[in-house]
Structure 1
Amino acid sequence: MEKAIEIKNLCKTYKNGRGIDNIDLDIQKGDIFGFLGPNGAGKTTAMKIMTGLMKPDRGDVKILGHSILTEFEKAIYNVGCIIETAEAYPYLTAFENLKQFSRYYKDVDVGRIEEILDMVGLLKHKDEKPVRFSLGMKQRLGIAAALLSRPKVIILDEPLNGMDVEGMINVRNIIKSLAEKESTTFFISSHLIHDIELTCKHVGILYNGRIINVDSTENILNSYASLENYFVSEVERNGRI
């Protein structure tokens, strides 16, 4: 199997002593990987390093064989992401926002913009401005922007934030379909354990800045009633909840 993401010995410590310590992870091409952990465990820190928004103290991340530290442009070329919150220009329409983003890519035309708006359920709102959007709709627009250039690796930090059930199901179906049909690799962090259970093929648990376990969702559900039960037992084994 080809590796899409290789994380080696990744470390970052903040002044308050928190951060991440010695993270090692290999994510195969076409996998949907769920990154689970309590708030403050270090999920966003790891993802900021993966997308070049922050430098690690030690270690490296390779995306499709390219180091984020020494070959940043090549590494990030095939990556789409949302880190923390999906940002948009509030006074441009949904369509104009994506048109703005499309300037960075060679082969994104009007047809592609409309296709992606349709995919995330925003086509009928394409001429509306995000300033009037609900949190869930802003999130959908952010996901549309992340998918726009047909990236091979998509990194999503809390992608279902503020979404209603219909939105969650829609995004889950998009993720599964792209992984299956186009071998797109997803790295998704969330504290919505149930949704990770329904979406992801593999799960890694981050606790106090360290990876405490990685397993396939199938294996976990063979041994535990739910991903939540597994998560609670792993965290209890490694410290207090």
Structure 2
Amino acid sequence: MDKEKVIEIQNLTKRYPNGRGIEDINLEIFKGDIFGFLGPNGAGKTTAMKIMTGLIRPNRGDVKIFGTSVMEEYEKAMASVGCIIEMAESYPYLTAYENLRQFARYSSQVSRQRIEEVLELTGMLKFKDEKPKKFSLGMKQRLGLAAAILTHPKVVILDEPLNGLDVEGMIDIRNLIKHLAENEQTTFFISSHLIHDVELTCDRVGVIYNGRMLNVESTENILRNYATLENYFVSEVERNGRIPNCAG
């Protein structure tokens, strides 16, 4: 049975004045996927994700979420999307709970019970009355993830979600992502430069290098053919990566 197409990226290109950017990115992400967008720092991951979430406009190309163009019908396309791009933002002088109450104002569906639930899911319930100005980077990431999943989004877009987390935090967040994908059919699009974490978290992987997509493959096939994601990544870069620099 064909899986439902959730995100469709077509010929996505963004050039900056310094010549960096992304070039002709094409991707399809399906319902329940945990898709890993893997590449070194500066490869173009954040540029692509900013376009996907409407923060910047491409020079050409389009992103469709459930068939709706982010460029043409932004509010409709983003209605069922939660995201963290670059850094998880919060109001430093409100408590963790008050921050989520503030974010909940944008949706009529969020109850106090749901706020408590996402704080529990992300391991932040015991800190709900503390203010983010005192939080570590990892705790801010956890709170950002709580905000991203607050409205039961069908799609969650996360830029480097494991940044700043200790080993226990990485395991917690990885388990949460897998739980939501499996039990709620939430679709995840996750960027990372941490090869080991992508290998353990994602079921499909796309390699981006110097602003271009090199390949997309299932983690299962990668591990069967290359033993590790690192071997696959090195192989793909050596086979395809000798291309003009247009990173961003």
Q: Under a length normalisation based on structure 2, what TM-score does the superposition of the two structures give?
A: 0.96
State the one-letter code of the partner of 1:140: R
1:238 positional shift: 2.2
Matched ranges for 1:67-146 at <5 A: 67-146=69-148
Residue by residue over 1:88-114, the C-alpha shift from the partner in whole angstroms, topping out at 9 and shown as x without a partner, is 111100000000000001110110000
Structure 1: 5+ residue stretches without partners: none
Correspondence 1:211 to 2:228? no
State the one-letter code of the partner of 2:128: K
Pick one of 192, 196, 202 that aligns with 2:194.
192
- Tell me what 2:171 maps to: 169
- Tell me what 1:45 maps to: 47
State the one-letter code of the partner of 1:159: P
Q: Distance in 2 between matches of 1:239 and 1:201?
A: 23
8 Å contact from structure 2 (residues 214, 241) kept in 1: no
Q: Which runs of 4+ in 1 moved over 6 A?
A: none
Please give the root-mean-square deviation of Cα atoms over the aligned residues, in Å.
1.0
Pick one of 55, 58, 61 that aligns with 2:57.
55
8 Å contact from structure 2 (residues 122, 172) kept in 1: yes
Pick one of 236, 239, 242 that aligns with 1:237.
239
Q: Distance in 2 between matches of 1:125 and 1:91?
A: 14
- Tell me what 2:17 maps to: 15
Q: Distance in 2 between matches of 1:73 and 1:156?
A: 19
8 Å contact from structure 2 (residues 10, 24) kept in 1: yes
Residue by residue over 1:150-192, the C-alpha shift from the partner in whole angstroms, topping out at 9 and shown as x without a partner, is 0000000000000011111111111101111111000000011
Fraction of identical pairs, as percent: 73
1:236 positional shift: 1.6
8 Å contact from structure 2 (residues 160, 192) kept in 1: yes
1:65 positional shift: 1.1
- Tell me what 1:34 maps to: 36
State the one-letter code of the partner of 1:178: L
Residue by residue over 1:64-122, the C-alpha shift from the partner in whole angstroms, topping out at 9 and shown as x without a partner, is 11100111111000000000000111110000000000000111011000000000001
Q: Distance in 1 between matches of 2:58 and 2:241?
A: 25
Q: Distance in 2 between matches of 1:216 and 1:232?
A: 16
Q: Distance in 1 between matches of 2:196 and 2:103?
A: 32
Q: Distance in 1 between matches of 2:42 and 2:17?
A: 14
Q: Distance in 2 between matches of 1:191 and 1:22?
A: 21
State the one-letter code of the partner of 2:179: S
Q: Distance in 1 between matches of 2:99 and 2:153?
A: 18
State the one-letter code of the partner of 1:30: G
Q: Under a length normalisation based on structure 1, what TM-score does the superposition of the two structures give?
A: 0.98
Q: Distance in 2 between matches of 1:229 and 1:78?
A: 36
- Matched residue SS, 2:143: helix
State the one-letter code of the partner of 1:218: E
- Tell me what 1:225 maps to: 227
Pick one of 156, 170, 187 that aligns with 2:158.
156
Structure 2: 5+ residue stretches without partners: 243-248
Q: Distance in 2 between matches of 1:193 and 1:80?
A: 24
1:239 positional shift: 3.2
- Matched residue SS, 1:211: strand
How many pairs align?
241
